Amino acid sequence: MRSGPVGRDGIGYPNTRLPSYFQYSTPPPQYAREQRHQGTFGASMFPVTTSGETRPTLPNRGQQRPQGSFGASMFPVTTPRETQPTPPDQGNRQLQVHPAAETKPGVNSTDPQTKDPMLGDCMSCAQPYWVVAVDLVGLRRRKANDYPLITDQVTGASVVNALDLDFDYKLGAHVDLAHHAADGVGWNIEYLSIPSWDGNRAVTGSLQLNGPGFDLAVDPAVFSVDYSTSVYSVELSVSRSDGYRWTGFAGFRYIRLNDDLLVAELNAPFLGVLDIETENNLYGMQMGGDLLVYDRGGPLRGSIELKVGIYGNDVRQHTRSNLVLPSVTARGKKAVFAGEMEFLLTYEITKRLKVRGSYKLVGLGSVALAPDQIGATDLSTGRAAIHYNSLLLDGGLLGLEYVW
């Protein structure tokens, strides 16, 4: 969940700056008060005389006289040099204001071509904000690889194959916390967990277990097979948005994958026949992007997120049986490619609260799965190795997103 200055869902920046038409380009000029002649209200103004100088001759009664503000007669004022004093510069200057910025459509605008749905391209108008999303996850683990784990003693036909261990949708949790600065740079922490997928089978008859380096034939047999997988993921990323539609990010991610296979023969003395545990710890860097693909100005929006990364896989597998001793352990390191794609829809309930749902697809390459280790391990000779394969997860998320 990443977003630009206003977020990929278009909110989160209360605009606290003054509108542009209240902003001065320069402070209004200040002028010193100048000494002015009397006669502010339009009274007659004559030069002051100290001797018997002759005053200016008044015009004839029939001549129209200029009137002052309050009806007083006004005559040109002359000086001994026959020049009139120049009035001070009144500074015919007007307050300069910025023209109003072009209005961008708001969150509910019907114009899908705008940049930022609240602030347009005015990145400096934005304020930092936080986004938190909490989702309920339902992911499905695709079936395991082909391996005939239990066969019929007479016909040799497969009775329990690893492919038969169906992994249905399993509920987990997803939390995403993100912070976005005013310049479009942000960071986020994301956590995903699926505690355990479980595939179970129980079979009876004249059966044979094809174990790692040994075969166990029992007649009659009651075999129980339990296969479980768990996934945990933590990632920390730094993001940069173009302001609205596109957000790119890069960061660190850790993925832990546990895969366990337990086969038991319920008739004594064969309880707890085989137990294989694998542990994958993936550390690496990932990069990706989030693209807004649907926005018609209403409360509904759609986006696509893509992540790819290269990881180092620190692998451990441990195999043991109460029939063949001792147990064996193998360790290995492998470069792993991992990718993730998510299709997300959000619906705005209020300016700060949204409901969200998505479809997620996760692929992991070069990981160790428990059934694959049977062919790479031989308890009778004490040999242990690691066999690598791929894993695919898919499913949906449903939750809430809050911005403040």
Length of the chain: 404
Question: For 35-44, 136-145, 164-173, which range has the lowest pLDDT when averaged over its residues?
Answer: 35-44
**Is residue 103 over pLDDT 70?**
no
**Is residue 17 over pLDDT 50?**
no
Question: For 81-90, 105-114, 146-155, 158-167, which range has the lowest pLDDT when averaged over its residues?
Answer: 105-114
**Taking residues 156-184, what's their average pLDDT?**
89
**Is residue 1 over pLDDT 80?**
no
Question: Is the pLDDT higher at 47 or at 167?
Answer: 167
pLDDT band, residue 123 (cuts 50/70/90) = very low
pLDDT band, residue 46 (cuts 50/70/90) = very low
**Is residue 29 over pLDDT 50?**
yes
**Taking residues 284-296, what's their average pLDDT?**
96
**Taking residues 254-265, what's their average pLDDT?**
94
**Is residue 184 over pLDDT 90?**
no
Alpha-carbon distance values, 355 to 12, 14, 93, 350, 352 (Å): 16, 21, 55, 10, 10
Q: What percent of the chain has pLDDT over 90?
A: 49
- Residue 66: count other Cβ atoms within 10 Å of its Cβ: 10
Question: Is the pLDDT higher at 316 or at 245?
Answer: 316
**Is residue 122 over pLDDT 70?**
no
DSSP 293-353: EEE-SSSEEEEEEEEEEEEEEEEEEEEE-SSS-S-EEEEEEEEEEEEEEEEEEEEESSSSE
**Taking residues 88-97, what's their average pLDDT?**
51
Name, of 21-35, 255-269, 363-377, the range with top average pLDDT.
363-377
**Taking residues 278-303, what's their average pLDDT?**
96
Question: For 44-58, 152-166, 288-302, 308-322, which range has the lowest pLDDT when averaged over its residues?
Answer: 44-58
Tell me what pLDDT residue 392 has. Answer: 93
Question: For 80-89, 171-180, 203-212, 311-320, which range has the lowest pLDDT when averaged over its residues?
Answer: 80-89
Tell me what pLDDT residue 283 has. Answer: 97
Q: Does the model's pTM come out above 0.75?
A: no
Helix, strand, coil percent values for the chain (each to nearest 5): 5, 50, 45
Tell me what pLDDT residue 19 has. Answer: 42
Tell me what pLDDT residue 218 has. Answer: 86
Question: For 99-108, 152-161, 191-200, 345-354, which range has the lowest pLDDT when averaged over its residues?
Answer: 99-108
Q: What is the chain's mean pLDDT, rounded?
A: 78
Tell me what pLDDT residue 276 has. Answer: 95
Q: Which of 209, 223, 255, 221 is nearest to 371 (CA)?
A: 209
Burial of 210 (0-12, 13-18, 19+ CB in 10 A): middle
**Is residue 143 over pLDDT 90?**
no
Tell me what pLDDT residue 11 has. Answer: 46
- Architecture of the CATH domain 118-140+174-197+229-258+276-403: Beta Barrel (2.40)
Tell me what pLDDT residue 125 has. Answer: 53
Question: For 189-198, 259-268, 325-334, which range has the lowest pLDDT when averaged over its residues?
Answer: 259-268
**Taking residues 284-288, what's their average pLDDT?**
97
Burial of 90 (0-12, 13-18, 19+ CB in 10 A): exposed
Q: What SS3 state is found at 281?
A: strand
**Taking residues 183-195, what's their average pLDDT?**
94
pLDDT band, residue 145 (cuts 50/70/90) = confident
Beta strand pairing call for 158-161 and 215-241: unpaired
**Taking residues 109-131, what's their average pLDDT?**
55
Tell me what pLDDT residue 8 has. Answer: 42
**Taking residues 222-234, what's their average pLDDT?**
94
CA atoms of 45 and 47, how far apart (whole Å): 7
pLDDT band, residue 134 (cuts 50/70/90) = very high
